[in-house]
A and B are shown apart, each in its own frame.
Chain A
């Protein structure tokens, strides 16, 4: 084989494996609160626990609420923005952030909104930061 070809193949293989390695690291799977501890940018799916107090605090400028993840763990979540639209109506919430001392600090939040009719629109996640 020509040396140029070998260099080419090595470069392609190197590039691809580095890319895939990095890609694999930059995605994660959805976890529960227990698994989220020690993770950066953990994605947790759950529902709002309405039995506990929640709301935006003008004093601390943060939204805090309790969320129950899919395995039933309930944790306090803090989100440093105002309460997004259809927060209470959302079927599911996805919070993205990190767990610290039993509190989940979310940097981003997505909401999965219920469809009005069972056969109508598939539900959609909405990024919280994109609505007030």
Chain B
């Protein structure tokens, strides 16, 4: 029933959006307010139906209705409430719905704030994009073909070939597959919604550009479009930052950026949007760059749709770690992309002849030229990234079955372009606020250049920079920071609201500094013996077990329990054991790695990386582990480490394999006898190591008589404590030993007690030595060999990551200041 209502609501929303689009189209043509009112109502109903459908979707998620494919596929009954809520956008269908919901809210804002003549066309194009987005989730069958994938389809509809459904079509699974463990993170709660706010907002400049072309008002549209574009920019930047931070601190991706297609998918629209912001500012100031502004506004949204296509059509499933699953939306996405691009560029070129063109060439040293050039560089960077991301498609020009480009492709192209952009920001800002000629500009720039040189030299010396290319890069970055700071100081005295631009540019310079430091000077923390080993590998002196030459260096840090190692002559690192905790995730281990300064002076600190079993993909015989790194953030450098392997994980894997093997074999009678057996003697208060356990004999204990035979002569209990070595968890064991007489003979009664967590192992209190009170224990099923407790870490020192974040925050702050300024001015205009 609820599935039917859900589908009905989405279909109703789809219908309303089509009707609203038609209504807005007529309103734009005929300028009759009646059309506007009716369309607004239809748009509102569309939003209402969609909200109802979202409510249903949330409801079936929260009530665990696993007969729905979406609920089965992305949730499970043990999921915490916050992750159940975020499962709403954890899948492809729900994330489309979230995108439309945000877009609808923005639509209400546009209704209220947009003036004629843009009002009708802007809302028409916004509604048109919603028609397409709704078509992705509508699930409307037409013949053999289904438009969109409904979040309300049942398991049977989604997987007609699944074996368990063929035998019983009404089968409802007990539990769902669960949310991917990597997504069980607080960042999952906020990162995707902000991203979709950015996607939805980036639609608006497109709508305004289309409205401008339609109504032939090529100048006035920039005023209202600019704050929306800035808003989209801040939302996307925030989402990118959150995604990067998430990847860095909890996903063990090893860094904040990896040029993954999904990362690029949000970065390229940001770049093009930012290019658009630059040309719009120029257009507003001096009525030039109209063509570029229109084009960038169109392309920024086209980029969003194109990257949506790439990540959601399955095209990238081979090359990206987190692309979505193909839901059969390929054709629809192609159509969406084609319409947005063709209508956008089509209208642009249709009107091209009458678009205002510049009367006279702007000089090289003019704010118009500099800003325009800056926008072009951002555009080129965007093009390079689009090209790289499109390798599965465009790569076919060169080879069959192309692989993704090497990461160096992105770095080699974006770095020089970013350097040129950096210089242009300073020149642009100096020209923006004052008319200058070459001579006055040189005079103005004298001091900033000098200071930048000094700072660059200092960085080169302090950072031991040897690469000439990096030196020049540093110079451009420092020049950006210093040059823009000088302008900012001047502007603050004039009017603090004007600093948006320079503040963003300072952020850009700071970001450049941080990126170089954190990526080029990232190093693995290794102890001396490992360094010597790596040196031997480099000399070609190491061969492995099979006699093959070892050529790859080792980047592990291996630590034995409580045996410190000195790494990089800087830290004394000790593995202090692990805690077994079940609160956050069942079966999670938290390792305690202590860092002390090697010379003994200064602060010590502890890092606690985690390892946990992936519930959604583990099986009885094979546990899949996932890691969560721990990061020590500092102003100068971060220490980042994760556990790559440990004795505990190794044991658990072996146990799982053993158990899987036993399940498949009939239990043979000889198996019990084949258990390893050992006897140990232990005095009161002593601890011994048994296999991978530590066993402590605490005290003797009382026995209640009921359990024993009537004729018992001697009965003692040993209070033992057993704990996996290195862990904080321990379990009490109290085996008993008793002697009783029966038929004139003495018998002993000493039942073995099971060791918790082990399937076969047991401890038996087999003898007591009356002379010294020592006890003898017979232990079965545990390896005699005392196992060492070790952990294998990947530890890295990443310098100046904090500077990357700082740069990002400055960028966000700068753009936000600009939003307030431009929005405030627009408000005054309409008042």
Contacts and interface: CB of A to CB of B under 8 A. Distances in A.
Interface of A: 4, 15, 19-20, 22-24, 26-30, 41, 43, 56-62, 64, 76, 78, 80-82, 85-86, 88-89, 100-101, 103, 105, 107, 112, 117-127, 129-132
B624 interface: yes
Contacts of B402: 27-29
A105 B554 CA distance: 13
Interface string B535-553: 0000000101110111111
B719 interface: no
Contacts of A60: 542, 544-545, 550, 554
Interface string B396-435: 0111111111101100110000000000000000000000
A122 B387 contact: no
A103 B544 CA distance: 12
A93 B404 CA distance: 16
B325 A129 contact: no
Interface in B373-397: 380, 383-384, 387-388, 391, 394-395, 397
A119 B164 CA distance: 12
Contacts of A105: 551-552
23 contacts: A23-B398, A26-B388, A27-B395, A58-B558, A61-B558, A62-B552, A64-B544, A76-B546, A80-B554, A82-B645, A82-B792, A85-B617, A85-B626, A89-B622, A119-B162, A121-B73, A122-B326, A123-B317, A124-B325, A130-B252, A131-B626, A132-B644, A132-B645
Given A120-B159, A122-B326, A57 B544 contact: yes
A122 B413 CA distance: 33
Interface residues of B, number: 69
A132 B627 contact: yes
A111 to B, nearest CB: 11
B271 interface: no
Contacts of B391: 23, 27
Contacts of B395: 23, 27
Nearest to A83: B645
Given A23-B409, A43-B403, A117-B163, A100 B544 contact: no
Nearest to A103: B548
B405 A117 contact: no
A123 B545 CA distance: 35
B502 interface: no
B793 to A, nearest CB: 11
A127 B388 CA distance: 18
Nearest to B380: A15
Contacts of A80: 552-555
Contacts of B380: 15
A19 B387 contact: yes
Interface in B295-326: 314, 317-319, 321, 323, 325-326
Given A23-B398, A64-B546, A125-B321, 15 more contacts: A15-B380, A19-B387, A19-B413, A23-B387, A23-B405, A26-B408, A28-B403, A29-B399, A56-B645, A57-B545, A80-B553, A117-B162, A123-B317, A130-B253, A132-B643
Contacts of A30: 401, 403
A119 B395 CA distance: 29
B691 to A, nearest CB: 18
Given A23-B387, A117-B162, A119-B159, A59 B314 contact: no
A-B pairs, top 10 by smallest CB distance, nearest first, are: A26-B409, A29-B399, A80-B552, A26-B405, A119-B161, A132-B627, A24-B398, A117-B162, A85-B624, A61-B554
Contacts of A59: 545
B101 interface: no
A125 B321 CA distance: 7
Nearest to A97: B552
Interface string B609-630: 0010010010000101111000
